[in-house]
Amino acid sequence: MNQKRAHNFSAGPAALPLEVLEKAQKELVDYQGAGASIIEMSHRGPEYTEIDRQARERLSRILGLGDDYEILFYQGGASLQFMMVPYNFNFEKTADYINTGSWSKKAIKEAKVFGDVHVAFSSEDSNFNRIPGNDELSFSGKGEYLHFTSNNTIFGTQFRNEPDSDGTPLVCDASSDFLSRPLDIKRYGVLYAGAQQNAGPAGLTIVILRKDFLEKARKENVASMLSYPTQVGTLYNTPPVFGVYIFNYVLEWIEQKGGLEAIDQLNKEKAALLYDEIDRDDFYRGTAEQASRSLMNVTFRLRDEALEKAFIEESKKAGMSGLKGHRSVGGIRASIYNACPKESVEALVTFMQEFRSRNG
Protein backbone atom coordinates (compact mmCIF):
# COMPACT_ATOMS: atom_id res chain seq x y z
CA MET A 1 0.00 0.00 0.00
CA ASN A 2 1.19 3.50 -0.82
CA GLN A 3 2.37 5.01 2.46
CA LYS A 4 1.90 8.58 1.21
CA ARG A 5 -1.57 9.06 2.61
CA ALA A 6 -3.48 12.22 3.45
CA HIS A 7 -3.92 13.43 6.99
CA ASN A 8 -7.55 12.32 7.19
CA PHE A 9 -9.87 14.43 9.37
CA SER A 10 -13.10 13.19 7.77
CA ALA A 11 -16.13 13.05 10.08
CA GLY A 12 -17.33 9.76 8.63
CA PRO A 13 -16.75 7.50 6.92
CA ALA A 14 -13.49 8.18 8.67
CA ALA A 15 -9.90 7.03 8.96
CA LEU A 16 -9.25 3.37 9.65
CA PRO A 17 -6.01 2.01 11.16
CA LEU A 18 -3.43 1.62 8.41
CA GLU A 19 -2.48 -1.80 9.79
CA VAL A 20 -6.06 -2.97 9.33
CA LEU A 21 -6.26 -1.68 5.78
CA GLU A 22 -2.99 -3.37 4.86
CA LYS A 23 -4.14 -6.69 6.31
CA ALA A 24 -7.42 -6.48 4.41
CA GLN A 25 -5.57 -5.55 1.24
CA LYS A 26 -3.46 -8.70 1.44
CA GLU A 27 -6.49 -10.91 2.07
CA LEU A 28 -9.03 -9.31 -0.25
CA VAL A 29 -8.45 -11.59 -3.24
CA ASP A 30 -7.58 -14.76 -1.32
CA TYR A 31 -8.75 -14.94 2.30
CA GLN A 32 -6.22 -17.03 4.26
CA GLY A 33 -5.71 -19.56 1.46
CA ALA A 34 -9.41 -20.19 0.82
CA GLY A 35 -9.07 -19.24 -2.85
CA ALA A 36 -11.75 -16.56 -2.62
CA SER A 37 -12.41 -13.27 -0.87
CA ILE A 38 -14.31 -13.29 2.40
CA ILE A 39 -16.97 -11.19 0.66
CA GLU A 40 -17.47 -14.00 -1.86
CA MET A 41 -18.14 -16.75 0.70
CA SER A 42 -21.25 -17.93 2.47
CA HIS A 43 -22.02 -16.09 5.69
CA ARG A 44 -22.85 -19.51 7.14
CA GLY A 45 -19.54 -21.04 6.13
CA PRO A 46 -16.70 -21.76 8.56
CA GLU A 47 -14.63 -18.73 7.50
CA TYR A 48 -17.22 -16.08 8.28
CA THR A 49 -18.54 -18.01 11.31
CA GLU A 50 -15.08 -17.78 12.86
CA ILE A 51 -14.79 -14.05 12.09
CA ASP A 52 -18.19 -13.45 13.69
CA ARG A 53 -17.19 -15.43 16.77
CA GLN A 54 -13.91 -13.57 17.15
CA ALA A 55 -15.56 -10.17 16.79
CA ARG A 56 -18.15 -10.95 19.47
CA GLU A 57 -15.55 -12.32 21.87
CA ARG A 58 -13.20 -9.38 21.36
CA LEU A 59 -15.94 -6.81 21.80
CA SER A 60 -17.16 -8.54 24.95
CA ARG A 61 -13.65 -8.61 26.34
CA ILE A 62 -12.89 -4.97 25.51
CA LEU A 63 -16.14 -3.63 26.99
CA GLY A 64 -16.40 -6.15 29.84
CA LEU A 65 -19.83 -7.36 28.72
CA GLY A 66 -19.76 -10.79 30.32
CA ASP A 67 -22.86 -12.93 29.90
CA ASP A 68 -25.31 -10.10 30.56
CA TYR A 69 -25.41 -8.73 27.01
CA GLU A 70 -26.34 -9.73 23.48
CA ILE A 71 -24.53 -8.36 20.41
CA LEU A 72 -26.13 -7.77 17.02
CA PHE A 73 -24.41 -6.86 13.76
CA TYR A 74 -26.99 -4.86 11.85
CA GLN A 75 -27.40 -2.79 8.70
CA GLY A 76 -29.22 0.52 8.37
CA GLY A 77 -26.90 2.74 10.40
CA ALA A 78 -27.79 4.49 13.63
CA SER A 79 -30.74 6.05 11.79
CA LEU A 80 -32.52 2.68 11.72
CA GLN A 81 -31.93 2.31 15.45
CA PHE A 82 -33.63 5.68 16.00
CA MET A 83 -36.89 3.90 15.20
CA MET A 84 -36.04 0.33 16.26
CA VAL A 85 -35.47 1.29 19.90
CA PRO A 86 -38.88 2.92 20.45
CA TYR A 87 -40.56 0.34 18.19
CA ASN A 88 -39.32 -2.41 20.51
CA PHE A 89 -39.32 -0.68 23.89
CA ASN A 90 -41.55 2.40 23.80
CA PHE A 91 -44.63 1.36 21.86
CA GLU A 92 -47.51 3.34 23.37
CA LYS A 93 -45.36 4.10 26.41
CA THR A 94 -43.10 7.01 27.52
CA ALA A 95 -39.35 7.53 27.13
CA ASP A 96 -37.03 10.37 28.14
CA TYR A 97 -34.68 11.91 25.58
CA ILE A 98 -31.82 14.39 25.87
CA ASN A 99 -31.61 16.72 22.87
CA THR A 100 -28.03 17.87 22.21
CA GLY A 101 -27.88 18.05 18.43
CA SER A 102 -29.09 17.07 14.98
CA TRP A 103 -28.90 13.31 15.58
CA SER A 104 -30.77 13.60 18.88
CA LYS A 105 -33.52 15.55 17.11
CA LYS A 106 -33.83 12.81 14.50
CA ALA A 107 -34.02 10.15 17.21
CA ILE A 108 -36.76 12.13 18.97
CA LYS A 109 -38.71 12.52 15.73
CA GLU A 110 -38.67 8.76 15.13
CA ALA A 111 -39.58 7.94 18.73
CA LYS A 112 -42.67 10.13 18.59
CA VAL A 113 -44.11 7.82 15.93
CA PHE A 114 -44.39 4.99 18.47
CA GLY A 115 -44.88 6.50 21.90
CA ASP A 116 -44.70 9.55 24.12
CA VAL A 117 -41.39 11.43 24.25
CA HIS A 118 -40.41 13.56 27.20
CA VAL A 119 -37.45 15.87 26.44
CA ALA A 120 -35.41 15.88 29.63
CA PHE A 121 -33.10 18.63 28.35
CA SER A 122 -32.43 20.57 25.15
CA SER A 123 -29.55 22.87 24.23
CA GLU A 124 -31.15 23.91 20.95
CA ASP A 125 -31.63 27.48 22.15
CA SER A 126 -27.83 27.89 22.37
CA ASN A 127 -27.22 26.17 19.00
CA PHE A 128 -26.27 22.93 20.72
CA ASN A 129 -23.01 24.28 22.09
CA ARG A 130 -23.06 22.37 25.37
CA ILE A 131 -23.88 19.19 27.27
CA PRO A 132 -26.20 19.41 30.29
CA GLY A 133 -25.17 19.02 33.88
CA ASN A 134 -27.03 16.34 35.80
CA ASP A 135 -28.86 19.02 37.76
CA GLU A 136 -30.39 20.30 34.50
CA LEU A 137 -32.12 17.04 33.60
CA SER A 138 -35.87 16.84 34.16
CA PHE A 139 -37.35 13.35 33.95
CA SER A 140 -40.91 12.25 33.21
CA GLY A 141 -40.94 9.83 36.12
CA LYS A 142 -42.32 7.07 33.90
CA GLY A 143 -39.69 6.70 31.19
CA GLU A 144 -38.87 3.24 29.86
CA TYR A 145 -35.36 4.50 29.16
CA LEU A 146 -33.24 7.64 28.88
CA HIS A 147 -31.83 8.17 25.39
CA PHE A 148 -28.78 10.32 24.70
CA THR A 149 -26.24 10.88 21.95
CA SER A 150 -22.82 10.52 23.54
CA ASN A 151 -20.91 12.60 20.98
CA ASN A 152 -22.22 15.21 18.56
CA THR A 153 -20.24 15.26 15.34
CA ILE A 154 -21.74 18.45 13.93
CA PHE A 155 -21.49 20.68 16.99
CA GLY A 156 -18.36 19.23 18.59
CA THR A 157 -19.79 18.36 22.01
CA GLN A 158 -19.51 15.17 24.05
CA PHE A 159 -20.73 13.66 27.29
CA ARG A 160 -17.61 13.10 29.38
CA ASN A 161 -19.52 10.65 31.57
CA GLU A 162 -22.88 8.92 31.40
CA PRO A 163 -25.74 11.20 32.45
CA ASP A 164 -27.53 10.59 35.71
CA SER A 165 -30.66 8.68 34.66
CA ASP A 166 -32.29 8.40 38.09
CA GLY A 167 -32.09 4.61 37.82
CA THR A 168 -33.64 4.42 34.35
CA PRO A 169 -31.73 2.25 31.82
CA LEU A 170 -29.63 4.25 29.38
CA VAL A 171 -30.05 3.96 25.63
CA CYS A 172 -27.19 5.53 23.72
CA ASP A 173 -26.34 6.44 20.16
CA ALA A 174 -22.57 6.08 20.53
CA SER A 175 -21.78 6.17 16.82
CA SER A 176 -19.02 8.77 16.88
CA ASP A 177 -17.17 7.89 20.10
CA PHE A 178 -17.74 4.14 20.24
CA LEU A 179 -14.66 2.29 21.57
CA SER A 180 -12.84 5.57 22.24
CA ARG A 181 -12.89 5.26 26.05
CA PRO A 182 -14.06 3.00 28.88
CA LEU A 183 -17.79 2.89 29.70
CA ASP A 184 -19.90 2.09 32.74
CA ILE A 185 -21.54 -0.54 30.59
CA LYS A 186 -23.87 -1.92 33.27
CA ARG A 187 -25.93 1.27 33.09
CA TYR A 188 -26.87 0.70 29.45
CA GLY A 189 -30.00 -1.11 28.33
CA VAL A 190 -29.07 -0.54 24.68
CA LEU A 191 -25.93 0.88 23.14
CA TYR A 192 -25.77 1.21 19.36
CA ALA A 193 -23.22 2.65 16.97
CA GLY A 194 -22.70 3.03 13.26
CA ALA A 195 -19.22 1.65 12.59
CA GLN A 196 -17.98 4.30 10.19
CA GLN A 197 -16.28 6.63 12.67
CA ASN A 198 -14.25 4.40 14.99
CA ALA A 199 -15.07 0.77 14.30
CA GLY A 200 -15.09 -0.05 10.59
CA PRO A 201 -16.61 0.79 7.21
CA ALA A 202 -20.04 2.26 6.59
CA GLY A 203 -22.76 -0.38 6.39
CA LEU A 204 -22.25 -2.05 9.77
CA THR A 205 -24.11 -1.08 12.94
CA ILE A 206 -23.24 -2.65 16.27
CA VAL A 207 -26.13 -3.07 18.72
CA ILE A 208 -25.48 -4.16 22.32
CA LEU A 209 -28.52 -5.20 24.37
CA ARG A 210 -28.61 -5.93 28.10
CA LYS A 211 -30.50 -9.20 28.52
CA ASP A 212 -32.80 -8.09 31.33
CA PHE A 213 -33.77 -5.00 29.33
CA LEU A 214 -34.23 -7.09 26.18
CA GLU A 215 -36.91 -9.07 28.01
CA LYS A 216 -39.09 -5.93 27.92
CA ALA A 217 -39.06 -5.76 24.12
CA ARG A 218 -42.29 -6.30 22.18
CA LYS A 219 -42.80 -9.90 21.14
CA GLU A 220 -46.13 -9.79 19.32
CA ASN A 221 -47.23 -8.02 16.14
CA VAL A 222 -43.65 -6.96 15.40
CA ALA A 223 -42.00 -6.95 11.99
CA SER A 224 -39.35 -9.68 12.06
CA MET A 225 -36.51 -7.60 10.62
CA LEU A 226 -37.16 -4.88 13.21
CA SER A 227 -37.54 -7.18 16.21
CA TYR A 228 -34.58 -7.44 18.55
CA PRO A 229 -35.78 -10.77 20.00
CA THR A 230 -36.04 -12.24 16.50
CA GLN A 231 -32.53 -11.14 15.59
CA VAL A 232 -30.74 -12.25 18.77
CA GLY A 233 -28.85 -15.52 18.50
CA THR A 234 -29.56 -16.00 14.80
CA LEU A 235 -28.32 -15.00 11.39
CA TYR A 236 -31.85 -14.08 10.41
CA ASN A 237 -30.60 -12.51 7.20
CA THR A 238 -27.21 -12.02 5.58
CA PRO A 239 -25.07 -9.86 7.87
CA PRO A 240 -22.78 -7.06 6.62
CA VAL A 241 -19.92 -9.51 6.11
CA PHE A 242 -17.19 -7.10 5.04
CA GLY A 243 -18.06 -4.66 7.82
CA VAL A 244 -17.81 -7.35 10.50
CA TYR A 245 -14.56 -8.60 8.95
CA ILE A 246 -12.96 -5.15 9.23
CA PHE A 247 -14.52 -4.55 12.65
CA ASN A 248 -12.89 -7.71 13.94
CA TYR A 249 -9.47 -6.44 12.86
CA VAL A 250 -10.15 -3.01 14.38
CA LEU A 251 -10.93 -4.71 17.69
CA GLU A 252 -7.68 -6.65 17.40
CA TRP A 253 -5.87 -3.35 16.79
CA ILE A 254 -7.47 -1.77 19.88
CA GLU A 255 -6.30 -4.65 22.05
CA GLN A 256 -2.81 -4.43 20.59
CA LYS A 257 -2.75 -0.72 21.48
CA GLY A 258 -3.51 -1.50 25.11
CA GLY A 259 -7.31 -1.42 25.22
CA LEU A 260 -9.73 1.42 25.85
CA GLU A 261 -7.70 3.03 28.64
CA ALA A 262 -4.71 3.47 26.33
CA ILE A 263 -6.90 4.63 23.43
CA ASP A 264 -8.61 7.15 25.72
CA GLN A 265 -5.28 8.57 26.87
CA LEU A 266 -4.08 9.01 23.29
CA ASN A 267 -7.36 10.68 22.31
CA LYS A 268 -7.02 13.12 25.20
CA GLU A 269 -3.48 13.99 24.14
CA LYS A 270 -4.52 14.61 20.53
CA ALA A 271 -7.45 16.80 21.54
CA ALA A 272 -5.34 18.80 24.00
CA LEU A 273 -2.83 19.65 21.25
CA LEU A 274 -5.56 20.99 19.03
CA TYR A 275 -7.59 22.85 21.64
CA ASP A 276 -4.43 24.47 23.04
CA GLU A 277 -3.74 25.93 19.61
CA ILE A 278 -7.33 27.12 19.22
CA ASP A 279 -7.19 28.84 22.62
CA ARG A 280 -3.80 30.47 22.06
CA ASP A 281 -5.40 33.76 20.99
CA ASP A 282 -8.55 34.97 19.27
CA PHE A 283 -7.48 34.12 15.71
CA TYR A 284 -9.27 30.79 16.15
CA ARG A 285 -12.27 30.23 18.41
CA GLY A 286 -13.94 27.02 19.49
CA THR A 287 -17.69 26.68 18.97
CA ALA A 288 -18.49 24.44 21.97
CA GLU A 289 -18.34 25.40 25.62
CA GLN A 290 -15.03 24.24 27.06
CA ALA A 291 -16.56 21.79 29.56
CA SER A 292 -18.55 20.16 26.74
CA ARG A 293 -15.82 19.90 24.11
CA SER A 294 -15.58 16.68 22.15
CA LEU A 295 -12.41 14.60 22.01
CA MET A 296 -13.58 13.25 18.65
CA ASN A 297 -14.78 16.27 16.63
CA VAL A 298 -12.99 19.56 17.20
CA THR A 299 -15.09 22.39 15.77
CA PHE A 300 -13.89 25.96 15.42
CA ARG A 301 -14.19 29.18 13.45
CA LEU A 302 -11.68 31.82 12.41
CA ARG A 303 -11.87 35.34 13.80
CA ASP A 304 -12.31 36.51 10.22
CA GLU A 305 -14.75 33.95 8.86
CA ALA A 306 -13.99 35.14 5.34
CA LEU A 307 -10.63 33.35 5.70
CA GLU A 308 -12.19 29.93 6.31
CA LYS A 309 -12.46 29.05 2.63
CA ALA A 310 -8.77 29.82 2.17
CA PHE A 311 -7.94 27.79 5.28
CA ILE A 312 -9.72 24.74 3.87
CA GLU A 313 -8.21 25.08 0.39
CA GLU A 314 -4.69 25.61 1.67
CA SER A 315 -5.00 22.71 4.10
CA LYS A 316 -5.83 20.41 1.18
CA LYS A 317 -2.66 21.51 -0.59
CA ALA A 318 -0.78 20.70 2.61
CA GLY A 319 -2.03 17.11 2.47
CA MET A 320 -5.05 17.36 4.77
CA SER A 321 -8.60 16.27 3.99
CA GLY A 322 -12.02 16.48 5.60
CA LEU A 323 -11.63 19.77 7.49
CA LYS A 324 -14.69 21.54 6.14
CA GLY A 325 -17.40 21.94 8.77
CA HIS A 326 -20.81 20.36 8.36
CA ARG A 327 -22.90 22.10 5.73
CA SER A 328 -25.52 23.08 8.33
CA VAL A 329 -23.10 25.07 10.50
CA GLY A 330 -20.01 25.85 8.41
CA GLY A 331 -16.65 26.57 9.95
CA ILE A 332 -13.86 24.05 10.45
CA ARG A 333 -14.14 20.54 11.88
CA ALA A 334 -11.22 18.24 12.62
CA SER A 335 -12.40 14.72 13.38
CA ILE A 336 -9.65 12.98 15.31
CA TYR A 337 -11.09 9.53 15.93
CA ASN A 338 -9.09 6.57 17.24
CA ALA A 339 -7.33 5.85 13.96
CA CYS A 340 -6.29 9.46 13.33
CA PRO A 341 -2.61 9.37 14.34
CA LYS A 342 -1.09 11.94 16.67
CA GLU A 343 1.26 12.91 13.84
CA SER A 344 -1.71 14.12 11.80
CA VAL A 345 -2.88 16.34 14.65
CA GLU A 346 0.63 17.72 15.02
CA ALA A 347 0.71 18.46 11.29
CA LEU A 348 -2.62 20.29 11.56
CA VAL A 349 -1.39 22.38 14.50
CA THR A 350 1.72 23.35 12.55
CA PHE A 351 -0.43 24.35 9.59
CA MET A 352 -2.69 26.42 11.85
CA GLN A 353 0.31 28.27 13.24
CA GLU A 354 1.65 28.98 9.77
CA PHE A 355 -1.75 30.11 8.52
CA ARG A 356 -2.08 32.49 11.46
CA SER A 357 1.37 33.96 10.80
CA ARG A 358 0.43 34.66 7.17
CA ASN A 359 -3.05 36.03 7.86
CA GLY A 360 -3.08 37.29 11.44
pLDDT tens sequence across 306-360: 999 999 999 999 999 999 999 999 999 999 999 999 999 999 999 999 999 999 8
What are the start-end ranges of the E strands in the chain? 7-8, 69-74, 94-99, 116-122, 146-149, 151-152, 157-158, 170-173, 188-194, 205-210, 284-286, 297-302, 320-321, 332-335
Q: What is the mean pLDDT of the chain?
A: 96
All structural domains of the chain: 21-256 (3.40.640.10), 260-359 (3.90.1150.10)
Q: How far is CA 49 from the centre of its chain?
A: 26
- Between CA 84 and CA 156 the distance in angstroms is 26
Q: How far is CA 175 from the centre of its chain?
A: 2
Averaged pLDDT, 266-274: 98
Please check the confidence at residue 1 and state whether its pLDDT lies above 50.
no
pLDDT for the residue 360: 83
- Contact 182/264 with Cβ under 8 angstroms? yes
- Between CA 103 and CA 152 the distance in angstroms is 8
Number of H helices, E strands in the chain: 10, 14
Please check the confidence at residue 3 and state whether its pLDDT lies above 80.
no
Q: Which residues contact 130 (CB under 8 A, 6 or more apart)?
A: 123, 157, 288, 289, 291, 292
What does the pLDDT look like over 50-94, one tens digit per residue?
999 999 999 999 999 989 999 999 999 999 999 999 999 999 999
What does the pLDDT look like over 13-48, one tens digit per residue?
999 999 999 999 999 999 999 999 999 999 999 999
Cis preceding linkage at 13, omega within 30:
yes
Residue 113: DSSP 8-state: T
- Between CA 58 and CA 26 the distance in angstroms is 22
Beta-carbon count within 10 A of 143 CB? 22
Averaged pLDDT, 95-122: 98
- Between CA 333 and CA 293 the distance in angstroms is 12
